[in-house]
């Protein structure tokens, strides 16, 4: 080899090892840089015509492992999902407390039982009555506060969902843009561009929001999708949309739409993203909002409904001493032309302030008659309005009765009061509810929606809906997908049966409504949609002038059930006057005549009956993941908290598992792709020595040239 050849070989050594030292320098300087994967230098021999001509860099390789990278993305999505949920569970547990805490529903029921026990020892004591009213008010506040806490947290989560959409779209677009740049650098032979590190960081950030998977293309770009294959980045990119907000407690879907990168225009139609999420904080947010908190709302509504039914039922069977001068019921949603549809018998009595009978009106709904003080029978008619008119006539100078805007009112004259007592053998019933309770004449609790959904209406009864009102429903699955959004518009002259038929036609068999003999409506979903729930997203209908819409009247929709605890409070009559609490039991018999005592001051039977309600078995339907059961109010309240604790513990366990998985994945990626200072020091020494040797060769060549030049 000539001196020129030797010099060229040495120069190649200088250039190659200088470049290799630069790679080592970059590795060391990026020791703590997130997403940086170390580079290694691959060398090759330079040759010409079979002759060695020095050394060159074959490639600078970025050290990565596709399997480990995908595991890191998957583990990151799983950890982010459960970290998000665990954070909200911690917040929820600290606010709601547990069964033994002072603010819990279970404690409120226990305190109420104690208050009734104290009051029953002295039924006319104002202190005892006030104690009971305070305990009732505290329990009502507990229901309302728990509902408010759940609702506020759901809205908070929903706003976080909205906030995450913009940053997620930015990440998706960033990955698409990096793909474009990486394709260009790959085409020039650069396999170790810093753009690859930037893309890995963006991918890991995206995986923390949405569970993703990736696949590598020959041109260096990546295809990114949800784990079940919904495109996020390919030759197009996706955009997420969600404006947030609930419709009557029901939240919509996050949607995903492909975008044409050349003009920014959407491709095809937007589809729901919710059912395609498997990990990431977005999955955690939606699961927490809809499944966990939505389920707790349903369970709470179930408990609130049964609590109201139980206490209102007993309160309407009891009697206050002295009897109240007037009874004004709840807004039943009934209109005066509705069929009366009561069976059995009840007595409405006027008594003086000492509890002595003044006059009694015996009503026989089965016969359609009433009689005053055992006198001749008079017809009550077939409608609610005709009954109110007949009752007003029967009261005569002793009082009055009226029915307007869905409310029945009965008043006594002067200082006298009103008592209502069902027949012991054939008690009155409309649907499954007695006369006084159905109209809410002596109710203790009220809420935004009535606890009574057995309306007593029949298919042939007029719907009573003003024409033009709209009922809108959505069928939502456990994964968040909404498969049906339907609506109907009320028309003049429709019957209850007509409205139900119209709703069923709109749903097309995906869900079905059925009117039961007691006037309640049952909902069943198709076998094609197991676990799906029907929600009301809008109802602008109204029955006459009552202010009650169709879905409120029948309690339709899972979200309506969930709102049974909304506005839970004492009725205005009870909160204004503790003496309205009925601690006695009326004693009206067919032989009772004017002057007989029908309610006495020392009677505590009603107070004891109210106390016993707390541990009396009640029928709870399935709600929020808790099966239908026969349980006491106190036991079901404990079940509510146990369900919360069980879900919280499950999420905490999953959080630990996924966090450990992510830690292990990060460690393995770091071991494979991270910078090792010992390895870099070894490489540094090797390249430094090779560079020095190349420089020494050039020095020798220079000396040889100098020697040759000195030869004469």
What pLDDT is stored for residue 702 in this prediction? 83
Reduce the DSSP state of residue 221 to 3 states and report it.
coil
Beta carbons within 8 Å of 2's beta carbon, 6+ residues apart = none
pLDDT in tens, 326-364: 999 999 999 999 999 999 999 999 999 999 999 999 999
What pLDDT is stored for residue 102 in this prediction? 59
What pLDDT is stored for residue 703 in this prediction? 87
Torsion angles phi and psi, residue 594, rounded to 5: -55, 135
CB 351 within 8 A of CB 593: no
What are the tokens at 489? 């518009």
Whole-angstrom Cα distance, residue 230 to residue 238?
A: 9
Sign of the dihedral through C-alpha 473, 477, 478, 481:
negative
pLDDT reading at 707 higher than 90: no
Name the pLDDT band for 69 (thresholds 50, 70, 90): very high
Average pLDDT, the chain: 93
**What distance, in Å, lies between the first and last C-alpha atoms of the chain?**
23
Residue that is written with structure tokens 């630069």 in the block: 22
What pLDDT is stored for residue 112 in this prediction? 95
**Containing H/E element for 77?**
helix 66-96
Q: Among 220, 238, 209, which residue's Cα sits nearest to residue 83?
A: 209
0.95 exceeded by pTM: no
Average pLDDT over residues 411-437: 97
pLDDT reading at 169 higher than 90: yes
pLDDT reading at 212 higher than 70: yes
Beta carbons within 8 Å of 59's beta carbon, 6+ residues apart = 42, 191, 192
pLDDT reading at 661 higher than 90: yes
How many other C-beta atoms can be found within 10 angstroms of the C-beta atom of residue 588? 23
Max avg pLDDT among 20-29, 326-335, 701-710: 326-335
Q: Any idea which of 231-240, 361-370, 546-555, 689-698 has the lowest mean pLDDT?
A: 689-698
Name the pLDDT band for 586 (thresholds 50, 70, 90): very high
Answer with the residue of higher pLDDT: 53 or 414: 414
What are the tokens at 494? 């429709």
Q: What is the DSSP letter of 427?
A: B
Average pLDDT over residues 156-165: 96
**SS in 3 state form for 632-697?**
CHHHHHHHHHHHHHHHHHHHHHHHHHHHHHHHHHHHHHHHHHCCCHHHHHHHHHHHHHHHHHHHHH
* Domain regions of the chain by residue span: 3-63+674-710, 67-89+155-292, 470-554
Percentage of the chain with pLDDT > 90? Answer: 77
Concatenating the DSSP letter of every residue in 490-516 gives: --TT-BHHHHHHHHHHHHTTSEEEEE-
What pLDDT is stored for residue 98 in this prediction? 60
Average pLDDT over residues 410-432: 97
What pLDDT is stored for residue 612 in this prediction? 96
pLDDT reading at 674 higher than 90: no
CA-based angle 603:437:298, to the nearest 5?
115
CA-based angle 335:305:646, to the nearest 5?
155
pLDDT reading at 710 higher than 90: no
How many other C-beta atoms can be found within 10 angstroms of the C-beta atom of residue 644? 20
């Amino acid at each position: 080899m000539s001196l020129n050849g030797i010099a060229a070989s040495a120069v190649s050594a200088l250039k190659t090892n200088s470049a290799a030292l630069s790679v080592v320098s970059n590795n060391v300087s990026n020791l703590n840089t997130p997403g940086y994967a170390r580079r290694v230098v691959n060398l090759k021999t330079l040759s010409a015509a079979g002759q060695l001509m020095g050394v060159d860099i074959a490639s600078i390789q970025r050290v990565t492992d596709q399997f480990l990278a995908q595991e890191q993305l998957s583990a990151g999505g799983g950890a982010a999902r459960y970290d998000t949920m665990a954070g909200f569970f911690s917040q929820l547990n600290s606010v709601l407390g547990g069964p033994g805490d002072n603010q819990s529903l279970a404690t409120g029921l226990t305190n109420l039982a104690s208050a009734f026990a104290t009051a029953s020892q002295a039924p006319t004591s104002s202190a005892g009555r006030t104690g009971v009213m305070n305990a009732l008010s505290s329990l009502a506040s507990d229901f309302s506060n728990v509902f408010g806490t759940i609702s506020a947290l759901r809205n908070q989560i929903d706003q976080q969902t909205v906030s995450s959409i913009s940053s997620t779209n930015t990440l998706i677009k960033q990955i698409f843009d990096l793909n474009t740049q990486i394709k260009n650098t790959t085409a020039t032979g650069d396999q170790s561009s810093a753009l690859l590190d930037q893309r890995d960081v963006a991918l890991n950030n995206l995986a923390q929001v949405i569970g993703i998977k990736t696949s590598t293309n020959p041109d260096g770009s990546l295809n990114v999708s949800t784990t079940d294959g919904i495109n996020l980045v390919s030759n197009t990119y996706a955009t997420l949309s969600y404006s947030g907000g609930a419709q009557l407690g029901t939240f919509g879907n996050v949607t995903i739409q492909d975008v044409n990168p050349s003009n920014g225009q959407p491709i095809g139609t937007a589809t729901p993203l919710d059912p395609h999420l498997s990990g990431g904080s977005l999955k955690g947010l939606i699961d927490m909002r809809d499944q966990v908190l939505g389920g707790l709302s349903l369970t709470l509504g179930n408990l609130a409904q049964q609590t109201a039914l139980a206490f209102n039922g007993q309160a309407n069977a009891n009697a206050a001493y002295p009897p109240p001068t007037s009874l004004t019921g709840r807004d039943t949603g009934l209109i005066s032309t509705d069929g009366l549809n009561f069976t059995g018998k009840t007595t409405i009595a006027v008594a003086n302030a000492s509890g002595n009978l003044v006059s009694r009106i015996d009503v026989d709904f089965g016969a359609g008659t009433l009689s005053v003080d055992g006198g001749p029978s008079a017809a009550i008619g077939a409608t609610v309005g005709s009954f109110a008119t007949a009752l007003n006539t029967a009261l005569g100078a002793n009082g009055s009765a009226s029915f307007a805007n869905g409310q029945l009112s009965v008043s006594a004259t002067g200082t006298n009061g009103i008592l209502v007592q069902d027949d012991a053998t054939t008690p009155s019933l409309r649907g499954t509810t007695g006369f006084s309770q159905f109209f809410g004449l002596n109710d203790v609790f009220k809420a935004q929606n009535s606890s009574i959904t057995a309306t007593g209406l029949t298919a042939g009864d007029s719907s009573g809906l003003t024409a033009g009102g709209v009922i809108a429903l959505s069928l939502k699955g456990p994964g968040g997908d909404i498969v049906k959004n339907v609506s109907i518009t009320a028309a003049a002259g429709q019957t209850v049966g007509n409205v139900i038929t119209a709703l069923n036609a709109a749903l097309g068999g995906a869900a079905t409504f059925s009117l039961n003999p007691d006037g309640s409506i049952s909902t069943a979903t198709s076998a094609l949609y197991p676990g799906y729930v029907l929600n009301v997203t809008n109802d602008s209908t109204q029955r006459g002038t009552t202010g009650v819409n169709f879905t409120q009247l029948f309690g339709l929709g899972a979200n309506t059930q969930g709102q049974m605890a909304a506005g839970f409070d004492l009725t205005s009559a009870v909160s204004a006057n503790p003496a309205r609490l009925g601690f006695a039991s009326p004693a009206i018999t067919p032989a009772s005549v004017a002057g007989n005592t029908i309610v006495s001051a020392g009677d505590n039977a009603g107070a004891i009956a109210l106390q016993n309600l707390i541990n009396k078995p009640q029928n709870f339907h399935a709600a929020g993941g808790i099966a239908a059961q026969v349980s006491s109010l106190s036991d079901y309240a404990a079940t509510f908290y146990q369900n919360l604790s069980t879900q919280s513990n499950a999420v905490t366990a999953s959080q630990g598992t996924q966090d450990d998985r992510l830690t292990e994945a990060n460690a393995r990626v770091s071991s494979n792709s991270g910078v090792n200072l010992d390895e870099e020091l070894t490489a540094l020494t090797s390249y430094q020595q090779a560079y020095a040797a190349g420089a020494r060769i050039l020095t020798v060549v220079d000396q040889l040239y100098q020697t040759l030049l000195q030869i004469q």
